[in-house]
Amino acid sequence: MSIRLKLTLSYTGFVLLAGILMLVTGWLFLTRVPHIGLVFVPDYQLAVASDFAPLAAVTLSFLLVFGLAGGWFLAGRMLAPLNSITQATRTAATGSLSHRIQLPGRQDEFRELADAFDAMLAQLEAHVGEQQRFAANASHELRTPLATTKALLDVARADPARATDPLIDRLHTVNTRAIDLTEALLLLSRADRQTFTREDVDLSLVAEEATETLLPLAEKQKVTLETDGDIAPTTGSPALLLQLTTNLVHNGIVHNRPGPGSVRVTTEARPYTVVLTVENTGEPVPPDLVPHLTEPFQRGTERVHTDHPGAGLGLAIVRSITHAHHGTLTLTARPGGGLRVTVELPAAATPRP
């Protein structure tokens, strides 16, 4: 039972109670107090009751209807600010912290609640923005020294006069992983801030481009790539959506089972959304671990291919890009092993003829 209905019933109950008390008072006045002229009429109380009863029933019926209609209207007016606060809460829950209630009217309890909620959103937006700027700035500052180190290591590895030194190869691997992590943090920050221009994108073409790019890696690891589906038009950043698809396909390859495996990429067009699905064969993923796979630096299974250590941000980046495009991300453990990842995005608006 909603609060509006409870308030309506309470208001109706008070109106009916007041009406009943007034009718009882009138009945007592007519039947208990002697009236000049009526005292000469035998059993005049019965005549008064027969005339008073229909009037009382009509009065109570009117009060019931009036109480329900008036209570429903007044409760709606009283709770309208609460509906605005609820809508703002739902908007903030989707990650949009820039929305403000800005409740008009006099300074009452609802206005104080709305102002406090706006202040909380402003502080959250400032803190999140500060964290994102720090991650972006720190990652950007790390790119130059890491690139310089990589260049020096490449020169050392390419020097034919040097003796084989496994330490240099190890340093090169660690440096490459640090560069990948830095680039992933920059991409994650960019997706969270939604600083990109929206364009028309066909997810089916994006899926084909991602699979073609990763085909050499798949062949090297004996993983079969399969693509299928419909034209799936949406709007967003082509670069970010390509990164999303590439991350999913790459995860499907490196987290596959040893030996022959497969990664299947499909697209689907629905009435109001488009869907990208990537599923792979692999080791069984515990169901209780699936909800945590999109957290940064989480992995569902050990990587089969040690030459692609990754940064642990693949699915976190996928989640951020999906949310930045107002979509939903669903992860499901396949019964036979592996993972099915579904990305559902709003379909592109169909142009009017």
Q: Of 342, 338, 340, 313, which Cα lies nearest the Cα of 328?
A: 342
On whether both 278 and 140 belong to a single domain, the answer is: no
On whether both 147 and 209 belong to a single domain, the answer is: no
Question: Quick one: 157 exposed, middle or buried, by C-beta within 10 A (0-12, 13-18, 19+)?
Answer: middle
On whether both 207 and 261 belong to a single domain, the answer is: yes
Question: What is the mean predicted confidence (pLDDT) over 337-347?
Answer: 92
Q: Are 216 and 177 contacting, i.e. CB atoms less than 8 angstroms apart?
A: no
CATH code for the domain of 153: 1.10.287.130
Strands 261-269 and 223-229: parallel
DSSP 117-138: HHHHHHHHHHHHHHHHHHHHHH
Residue 174 backbone phi and psi in degrees, to 5: -65, -40
Query: Predicted confidence band at 308 (pLDDT cuts at 50, 70, 90)?
Result: very low
Residue type, 194: Q
The residues, ordered by sequence, that sit 6+ positions from 70 with a Cβ below 8 Å of its Cβ are: 11, 15
**Does 283 reside within a domain?**
yes
Query: So what's the pLDDT on residue 64?
Result: 82
**Does 267 reside within a domain?**
yes
**Does 171 reside within a domain?**
yes
Lay out the sheet containing 273-280: strands in order across: 223-229, 261-269, 273-280, 339-346, 328-333
On whether both 22 and 135 belong to a single domain, the answer is: no
On whether both 223 and 340 belong to a single domain, the answer is: yes
On whether both 225 and 298 belong to a single domain, the answer is: yes
**Does 291 reside within a domain?**
yes
Query: Predicted confidence band at 352 (pLDDT cuts at 50, 70, 90)?
Result: very low
Q: Where among 170, 193, 216 does a domain terminate?
A: 193
On whether both 135 and 238 belong to a single domain, the answer is: no
**Does 25 reside within a domain?**
yes
On whether both 304 and 238 belong to a single domain, the answer is: yes
What is the rounded distance in angstroms from the CA atom of residue 245 to the CA atom of residue 252? 11
CATH code for the domain of 291: 3.30.565.10
pLDDT tens across 53-79, in order?
Answer: 777 788 888 888 888 888 888 877 777
Query: Predicted confidence band at 306 (pLDDT cuts at 50, 70, 90)?
Result: very low
Packing angle between helix 238-254 and helix 166-193, nearest 10 degrees?
140
**Residue 335 structure tokens:** 């019964």
On whether both 25 and 69 belong to a single domain, the answer is: yes
Range of the domain at 11: 3-90
**Does 320 reside within a domain?**
yes
- Would the pLDDT of 17 be above 90? no
**Does 114 reside within a domain?**
no
**Does 68 reside within a domain?**
yes
Q: Where among 73, 90, 107 does a domain terminate?
A: 90
What is the rounded distance in angstroms from the CA atom of residue 220 to the CA atom of residue 324? 34
Please give the tally of structural domains in the chain: 3
On whether both 294 and 315 belong to a single domain, the answer is: yes
Q: Structure pTM?
A: 0.57
Q: Where among 37, 63, 90 does a domain terminate?
A: 90
Q: Are 114 and 103 contacting, i.e. CB atoms less than 8 angstroms apart?
A: yes
Q: Which residue has the tokens 């698809």?
A: 245
Query: So what's the pLDDT on residue 91?
Result: 78
pLDDT tens across 72-116, in order?
Answer: 888 777 777 777 888 888 777 766 677 787 777 777 777 888 888
On whether both 203 and 291 belong to a single domain, the answer is: yes
On whether both 222 and 321 belong to a single domain, the answer is: yes
Question: What is the mean predicted confidence (pLDDT) over 285-292?
Answer: 85
